[in-house]
Amino acid sequence: MSRPRPLLSKPFALLALAVAVLVGGFVLWLQIGFVSSLVSVALGARSFQTSLTGAVDQLTAGDYESALANFDEVRAAADRVSASAGAAQLDLIGRVPGLDTAVANWRALAIATDDITTSTGELLSIFGDLSGKNDGVKIFSDGTIDIELLRQLPPRVDSVESGIKDSIAQLQAVDTSGPAAGFLETVRAKALKEVKPVQRAVSALVDLAPLLPDALGANAPKRYLIAIGNQAEMRAAGGAPLTLVLVEFDDGRISIPIKGQTSTQLYPPLNAPVTWWGPAGNPFFPINPRNAPMVVTNTHPSLLYSAREMSGAWIGGDYPAVDGVITLDLTSIAAVLNAIGPIPSPTYGAVTGDRLGQILLVEAYEKFGVTEFVARQEANQLLLDELLAQLLSGEDLVAVAKAIASTAPGRHFQVWMRDTRFENFILESGAGGAVRDPGVGDWSAVYTQNGNQSKVDVFQQRNVLVSARINTDGSARVTQLMTVTNATPAERPEGPPERIGYETSWLKAAYLLYVPTAATNYSALYPQGFTVRSFKDHQQYGRGFVDDGFGQKLVRVVGWTPPGAQAAVSVSYDLPAGTFTAPDGNLVYNLQAEPQSTWNASTLTVRVTPPVGWRAENDLGMKVDGAGVAEVSALQTGQVNISITMKPGN
C-alpha cells in the first residue's frame, strides 16, 4: 500500500506565504497607486481648468491681484496632475498592452498642463510689469518709459508663445481611441478651450512687442497727434477735431509740447485755413495743395485718408511732422473715466464717465453763450489737462488701455501710423478706421456729416433699414434707407435765423452712402429740397456716385433738417446672380454693416424677403412671418454681421 506524501516543510510554507503577501501587496500597491493617480489627475485637471478660467478672466478684466490668486490654484492643480503622471505604478501599467496608450495620453496631458501653467505665469509677469503691479521697476511710470525693460519684452513674449504652442501640440497628440479615452478627451477639449484666450492675447503681443521700442522713441524721437473728436458736430470719420494734443516720445521721456483748442489756440483767430498736401485719391478735397481749416480734415469716412489729411493740415499750421494720428472721442474718454474714477473740474465739479457727454456736449454749450466760447474752451482745456496728468502717471495704464480698446469697435478710438509695419498691425486689430467692402454678400456703410457747425448731432437718432429681396438664382434687389431724426429737445431755442453755429437747433448735414462694389442699377432717393452734391475732378460713376479713392462707390446728399424733424435718404441697387447662393443649394443672405462713432449708436434693421416658395430659417433674435420674410435688428456699437438662411418650403 502506498505511503502518505509528506506535508510541505515549514520554511517552504513561509516562503509561499511571503510570496502571496508580496504579490497581494504589489497588486494592492498597484491598485492604490493607480486609483490615487486617477483621482489626482481627475481632481487636479478639474481644479486646473476652473482656476485657469478664473485667472484668464481676471487678467482680461485687468484685476492683477485676483489673477495672481487664481494662478496660485492653477499651479497647485498642475503640480497634482504632474505628480500623478510620475507615479511608479504607471511605469508598470504602461507596459501592459492596451494600457500603454492611456498612460502615454495621461503623461502628455500632464506635460501640456505644465506648459500652460508656465506660459500663463510668464504672461502674468509681463502684465504686472506693464501695469506696474509687480514689485520691480515699472515699464511705464511718471511720464517715462524704461526702454531696457521694453526691449526685453519681445523675447519674453516669444517664450510664452512657444510654451503655449508646445502645450497645444501635447494636447492634440492625445490618442482618444484607447482606454479612458472618454475621460481624457473631455479633459483635453476643456484644456484646449481654456488656453485659446491666452493664445490670442499672446499672438497680439508677439506682433506688437518688437515694434514698441521704435514706436515709443527708443531709436529716435516719435511724435503723435491726438485729435479729440466732438460728437456734437460729426464728421464721417469721427467727431470734429476741436481739441488737439501732440505727444512726443524721446529715449524714454514722454512730453506734451503742444496742446490746445483747435479753433482759437492752435489755428487763430478762428479756424484759420491752412495750406497742405493731401492724398490725391480723396474726393472730398478736389485739388492739391489744399486750403481749408483743420476742423474739416476728417471728412472722408476712412481714417486711411482722413488721418493723412489731419497730419497734413497739422504741418500746414507750422507744427512739427507727426509719425501717427490717434483719434479719441468722448465715448472713449468716458470709458477711461469709468475705469479710473472721476476727475475734478473747477467749472463742472467731479466729472464722471456717465456724465461726461451730458456735461461737455450739452450743458457746456448751454452754460456758455456764443460770446463766451473762450471761457468754455478754457474750462474744457483744464479738464483735459487734469485727465492727461492722471494718464501720464502710469498708475492705471492697463485699465486705461483696456477701457480705450473696448471702444475701438465703434470707431471711438482709431489709429493711423506712418510706419507701415505698425499700420498693418493696427488695421489687423480693427482699430485702423478702414472702410472696406468685404467683397462678398451685401455691405452697408452710411455716414452723416455736419455742415453748419451746429452741435445737435449729440441728439441724433439714426435708424438704418436694409431691405433685400432675394431671387432663386442668388441675385437680389436691395434698398438701404437711413432715417435721421434731429431730436433736439423741444424746449431748446431754435437759434439765430442764419441757422449756423452752435446755438442753432437746425441741422445741415451731408448723408454719405456706399453701395457694394458689385452693385449695378444703383441710385439714390432723398427728400424734396435735398440735393446730390457731386464730387469734382474725381472718377464719376454717374447719378452722383464717385470713386471714394479705394475703388468703392459713394454718393453724397445734402439737406436741412429742422429741430424735431426727420430726414430719410436711401440707395437702391442690384446684386448679381450667385451672390447669395450657398454650396448646399440653399440661399444665404450675408451683410456686413459698418459703424459711425456717433454719440447715440445707430439701430440697424435687416429685412430679407425670400423667393416665392422659400422661407427664412428662424434664428435667435430673428422674426420670421407667415410668408417666410425674416427681420432682425441690432445696435451698431461695432461692425455688425448678419446671416440669414433660406430654404425651399411651404
In sequence order, the 6+-apart residues with CB closer than 8 A to the CB of 463 are: 482, 483, 602, 603, 605
The percentage of the chain sitting over the pLDDT mark of 70, rounded to a whole number, equals 78
Reported as a single tens digit per residue, the pLDDT across 476-493 is 999 999 999 999 999 888
- Is 30 a residue whose pLDDT tops 80? no
- The grid cell for 564 is 424735431
In sequence order, the 6+-apart residues with CB closer than 8 A to the CB of 83 are: 40
- Is 85 a residue whose pLDDT tops 70? no
Residue 279, pLDDT score: 94
CATH class of residue range 220-429? alpha beta
- Is 524 a residue whose pLDDT tops 80? yes
Most distant CA pair in the chain, distance: 142
In angstroms, what CA-CA distances link 317 with 7, 265, 268, 271?
116, 12, 10, 11
Pairing of β 640-648 and β 587-593:
antiparallel
Residue 184, pLDDT score: 63
Task: Tell me which of 176-185, 244-253, 573-582 is least confident.
Answer: 176-185
- The grid cell for 13 is 510554507
Residue 7, pLDDT score: 42
pTM of the model: 0.82
Reported as a single tens digit per residue, the pLDDT across 248-280 is 999 888 888 999 999 989 999 989 999 999 999
CATH code given to domain 442-648: 2.60.40
- Is 41 a residue whose pLDDT tops 90? no
Residue 34, pLDDT score: 37
Length of the chain: 650
pLDDT, greater one: 235 or 254: 235
Task: Tell me which of 29-33, 332-336, 433-437 is least confident.
Answer: 29-33
- Is 154 a residue whose pLDDT tops 90? no
Task: Tell me which of 270-274, 411-415, 535-539, 558-562 is least confident.
Answer: 535-539
Residue 187, pLDDT score: 67
Region 492-521 average pLDDT: 94
- Is 31 a residue whose pLDDT tops 90? no
Residue 179, pLDDT score: 55
Split at pLDDT 50, 70, 90, the class of 81 is low
- Is 107 a residue whose pLDDT tops 60? yes
Q: Return the SS3 of 456.
A: coil
- Full 3-state SS string of 235-270: ECCEEEEEEEEEEEEECCEEEEEEEEEHHHHHCCCC
Residue 40, pLDDT score: 45
The fold of the 26-214 domain, in CATH, is Methane Monooxygenase Hydroxylase; Chain G, domain 1 (1.20.58)
CA 631-635-641 angle, 5° bins: 65
Split at pLDDT 50, 70, 90, the class of 26 is very low
Residue 202, pLDDT score: 74
Per-domain boundaries in the chain = 26-214, 220-429, 442-648
Quick one: which H or E segment has residue 212? helix 212-215
Region 377-402 average pLDDT: 74
Task: Tell me which of 111-115, 219-223, 251-255, 335-339 is least confident.
Answer: 111-115
Per-chain mean pLDDT for the chain: 83
DSSP structure string for 581-637: B-TTS-EEEEEEE-----SSPPEEEEEEEPPTTEEEPP-TT-EE-TT--EEEEEE-S
